[in-house]
Each structure stands twice: as C-alpha cells, then as structure tokens.
C-alpha cells in the first residue's frame, strides 16, 4: 500500500527532492559574490576567505559516502530530513557569524547537512520511479543541479545588493522549511531491507581519505604543489584510500561493495561524471573572473549572463533520455564530453575586447555538452547498483562530482597562475619597479588584487598595470581552457572505449 501511494505521488515527490537539492547547489556558488562584502565586515585573511568557501566543500565531500550508507541502512527520508535540519541550523549560524573563524565553522557544519541531503534525493528517486521512468526523473534532477549553478551568483548578487551579506544564508531557511514539511507528508520511507551491521572502519577510512585528498587539492594552488603539507596530505590520503579499498574487499559487511567497479557501465559513467565536473567547475572558475575583472561586469551582471547556460541545461537534460534511446548511453555521454571540450577550445579565442555575443553561444555549447553527460551518466550509475544500495550509489556519483570539480578548479587555476604571475613579475621588473613590494605581492597573486593596486597607483603606471594584468589573465585563461578542452576530449575518447554500448554488456 505504501509503495502504491509512493508511485502515485512520485512526480510531487520529485518536486520536493529537486527543491531540496536546489539549496545545496545554490550554496556551492552563492557565497562567491558576497566575498567582497564579507571582507569589509569581518576583515578575514586571504586564507580565511578561501576556507569560508572550502570548509563546506571539504566536509560535504568527505562525508558523502558515509552519509549515503547511513541513509541506506536507517532510512533515506530520515537522512534527508536530518540533513535539511542540520543545513538550516548551519545557515542561521553562518548568517549570525561575527568572526571569520565562526563563519568557517558554520559553513563546515552546513557541509554535514549537505552530505545527507544530496545522496538521499537521488536514492529516493531511484526507489520510487520504475526503470522506464527513472532516466527522465534523473534528467529533471540533473537539470535542477545545472540551473542551481547559474542561479547562485544571480541570487547572491541580488541579495548582497539590497540586504546584508548574511541574507545569502537566510534565504536557505524557507527552502529548508518547505522541504521538511512537504517531505514529511509526501516522501515515503525506504531503506535497505537486508542492511548488515554498520561498517565503522570503512566509514572512518572513507572520511579521512577523502578529506585528506581534498585538502591537498584545495591547498595545492595557494601553498604550491610541492609544499610538505600538501604532499603529506595527498600521500596520506592515497594511502588511506588504499586501506579503505583493502578493507572493503576484506570485510563481510562493506559500506561500499567494490564489486560495483567491475561493472564497466558503473566505472565508465563515474569517470565521465568526474571529467564533466572537472571541465565545468574549472572553466567557470576562470570565466566568472574573466567577465568581472576583464570585461567589467558586476557580480550580478556576470550571474545574469549565465542564464542562457542554465536554460540549455534546463531544456536538454530532461530530454537526454530520448537521445539515449536513439543513439545509446555511450555515444550520448561521449558526445557530451567532446562538445564540452570543443567549447573550451573555442573559448581560447576570447580576449580583453570580446563582447557578450562572442561568449554566449560558447556558453550554450558547453551547457549542451554538460547536459548530455550529467543525466545519462548519473542514470547509468544508479541503474548499475541494486535499488537497496541506492544511497551508496548516489554518494559515489556525488563524491565524484565534488572531487572532479575541486580538482578542476585546482589544476586549471594553477595553470592560469603559472602564466599570469610571471607576466606581472616582468612588469614590476620594468615599468612598475617603483610600486611597493607589499603591493607587488598582492598584484602577483590574482587579477583582482592587481586591479585593486592599479587603482591606488597614480598616473600611467596604474593604467599600465591594469592593462598588463588583464592581458596576463587572458593568456592564463587560454592556457587553462586548453587544459579543460583536452580533459573533455580525452574523457570522451576513454568513455567511448570503456562504456558499454548497452546495459547487457556492462560486465
């Protein structure tokens, strides 16, 4: 009877789940536009500013596998509602923060809630939709995630313009309230009926290994990839990950059944998701700076110019199951990665004088590629694991997204810096030699810093610094986009080779 009612209201449940997902996706991007205002009010260091963003990502990604497993074991609706409550509390604490460290801690607390919400949404979809409708439902879920990426800067920019910076967190509260109340009445309970005892060693190894690896990825660009802390964290994380795999293969009650990875459909789709988010997060990290610092858009203006990207995702992702029916998952996902990679290569033609008309069609092309990857690859992952393990399957998908995205920002950001910084150093060795050393360090670190210094330096030197900084950033942007394009194209080739043409060829 419960299952029949769940089936009857499945589309209403999907609406609640997508609404709940939106709060997480928005929070991934909404903070960036408020950073300048927060800097003025809380006076954080550069490192503290970085960790206001990264503390959420680190905790969120580190806990995903464990949270997904707990949802399978104790109930997915309960996991979702616990996550929403924790996320809401974290949002209020963030809005009320009076010091940088308080905000960092509150953001980390929000990450705990997010880790329970995201896998619960996808695993509930997998359990209430029949196989013939699952792909369409996941397409809508993926479209929501894609739209949220673009809406974050718009909502954040509008709120910061009219209210204080804490409003970017308080906006979460109505979403959390609706998700809690609607979920209580609409979402059915579901869990793994054959759940064994909790895999505590596996959970601890999962959390510590993912946290250490992500810490290294996050700290690599600012500290340097050869920094002892970064190297130790990365090596330690990889060793712990190896221990996690060994334990999961050895124990009779694994949190994550490593046999899933013997399924080529599961493994190749996981790889495709990682490559897709590497390209997406890495490129948008640079493109949003390009629009603001080089082309001169405000944060809100830059955000609104991402709406065509969101529109393409919103239209194409739900339609992608029909494309899969016509040409298959392998061709669809591989084509998506190739299109996204091609868009990156085309963007290397952008310069300091490019117009929005030069950019918008390439953004839409990138969105087309991403939409062709997100939903079909996610559906392939979820279709490759038993329904009773949907929470863990969803967590693998979500963890892959976060790690791929963080790696994209770190690697592509580092490539940009390798090109940008030497050009600024050369300027200070010549025309800008009289600029104070403390100002030089700020300008060499980022284009935002360089433009700030340029505005405080009187005369022609300030104008020259601004021009050199914009040119250096564009050169770095080109290099970063070349890397993103190469990753997309290589990912397309590997996915086409490894991903089976049909579900029957998965093993």
pLDDT average, residue stretch 428-437: 75
Per-residue CA distances from 497 to 5, 46, 158, 176, 331 (Å): 42, 43, 45, 42, 10
The pair of three-digit structure tokens given for residue 318, joined into one six-digit string: 């739900």
pLDDT band at 504 (very low <50, low <70, confident <90, very high): low
DSSP for residue 435:
S
Domains 1-196 and 262-507 share a fold: yes
pLDDT band at 1 (very low <50, low <70, confident <90, very high): very low
Residues 451-501: tens digit of each pLDDT: 878 777 777 888 888 888 888 889 999 999 999 999 999 999 999 999 887
Nearest Cα residue to 288 out of 453, 127, 448, 418: 448
pLDDT band at 7 (very low <50, low <70, confident <90, very high): low
Residues 126-135: tens digit of each pLDDT: 888 887 788 8
pLDDT band at 84 (very low <50, low <70, confident <90, very high): very high
The predicted pLDDT at position 195 comes to 62
The predicted pLDDT at position 496 comes to 93
Q: Is 116 a residue whose pLDDT tops 60?
A: yes
Nearest Cα residue to 12 out of 179, 192, 189, 146: 179
Q: Which range among 21-35, 73-87, 307-321, 348-362 shows the weakest confidence by mean pLDDT?
A: 21-35
**1-196 maps to which CATH number?**
1.20.1250.20
Q: Is 438 a residue whose pLDDT tops 60?
A: yes
- Are the beta carbons of 221 and 446 closer than 8 angstroms? no
- Are the beta carbons of 2 and 188 closer than 8 angstroms? yes
pLDDT band at 2 (very low <50, low <70, confident <90, very high): very low
Rounded to whole angstroms, how far apart are CA atoms 18 and 10? 12
Delimit the domains of the chain by residue range. 1-196, 200-252, 262-507
Residues 280-336: tens digit of each pLDDT: 888 888 888 888 888 888 777 877 888 888 889 888 888 888 898 888 889 999 999
Rounded to whole angstroms, how far apart are CA atoms 118 and 116? 6
The CATH number of domain 262-507, selected from 1.10.600.10, 3.40.1390.10, 3.40.50.1820, 1.20.1250.20 = 1.20.1250.20
The pair of three-digit structure tokens given for residue 315, joined into one six-digit string: 């239209």
CA atoms within 13 A on the CB side of 471: 11
pLDDT band at 378 (very low <50, low <70, confident <90, very high): confident
């Amino acid at each position: 009877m419960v299952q029949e009612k769940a089936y009857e209201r499945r589309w209403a449940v999907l609406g609640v789940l997508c609404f709940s997902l939106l709060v997480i996706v928005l929070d991934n991007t909404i903070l960036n536009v408020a950073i300048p205002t927060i800097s003025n009010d809380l006076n954080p260091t550069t490192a503290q500013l970085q960790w206001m963003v990264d503390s959420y990502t680190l905790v969120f990604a580190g806990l995903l596998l464990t949270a997904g497993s707990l949802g399978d074991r104790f109930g997915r609706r309960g996991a979702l509602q616990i996550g929403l409550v924790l996320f809401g509390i974290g949002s209020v604490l963030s809005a009320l923060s009076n010091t940088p460290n308080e905000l960092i801690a509150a953001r980390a607390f929000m990450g705990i809630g997010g880790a329970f919400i995201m896998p619960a949404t996808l695993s509930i979809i997998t359990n209430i939709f029949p196989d013939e409708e699952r792909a369409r439902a996941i397409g809508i879920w993926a479209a929501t995630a894609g739209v949220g990426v673009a809406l974050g800067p718009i909502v954040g920019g509008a709120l910061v313009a009219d209210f204080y910076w804490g409003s970017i967190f308080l906006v979460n509260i109505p979403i959390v309230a609706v998700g809690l109340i609607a979920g209580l009445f609409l979402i059915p309970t579901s869990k793994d009926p054959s759940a064994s005892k909790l895999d505590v060693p596996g959970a601890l190894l999962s959390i510590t290994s993912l946290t250490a690896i992500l810490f290294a990825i996050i700290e690599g660009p600012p500290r340097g990839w050869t920094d002892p802390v970064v190297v130790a964290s990365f090596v330690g994380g990889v060793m712990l990950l190896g221990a996690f795999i060994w334990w999961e293969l050895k124990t009779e009650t694994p949190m994550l059944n490593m046999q899933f990875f013997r399924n080529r459909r599961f493994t190749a789709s996981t790889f495709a998701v990682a490559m897709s988010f590497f390209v997406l997060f890495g490129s948008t990290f640079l493109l949003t700076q390009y629009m603001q610092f080089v082309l001169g858009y405000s944060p809100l203006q830059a955000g609104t110019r991402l709406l065509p990207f969101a529109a393409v995702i919103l239209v194409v992702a739900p339609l992608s199951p029909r494309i899969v029916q016509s040409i298959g998952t392998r061709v669809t996902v591989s084509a998506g990665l190739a299109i996204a990679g091609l868009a990156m290569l085309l963007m290397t033609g952008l310069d300091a004088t490019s117009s929005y008309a030069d950019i918008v069609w390439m953004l839409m092309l990138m969105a087309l590629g991403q939409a062709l990857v997100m939903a079909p690859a996610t559906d392939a992952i979820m279709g490759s694991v038993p329904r009773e393990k949907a929470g863990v399957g969803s967590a693998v998908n979500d963890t892959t997204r976060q790690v791929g995205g963080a790696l994209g920002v770190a690697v592509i950001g580092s490539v940009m810096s390798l090109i940008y910084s030497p050009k600024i150093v050369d300027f200070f060795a010549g025309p800008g030699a009289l600029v104070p050393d403390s100002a030089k360090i700020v300008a060499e670190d980022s284009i935002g810093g360089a433009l700030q210094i340029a505005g405080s330096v009187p005369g022609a030197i300030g104008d020259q610094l601004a021009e050199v900084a914009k040119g250096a950033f564009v050169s770095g942007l080109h290099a970063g986009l070349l890397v993103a394009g190469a990753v997309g194209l290589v990912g397309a080739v590997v996915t086409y080779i490894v991903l089976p043409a049909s579900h029957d060829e998965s093993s």
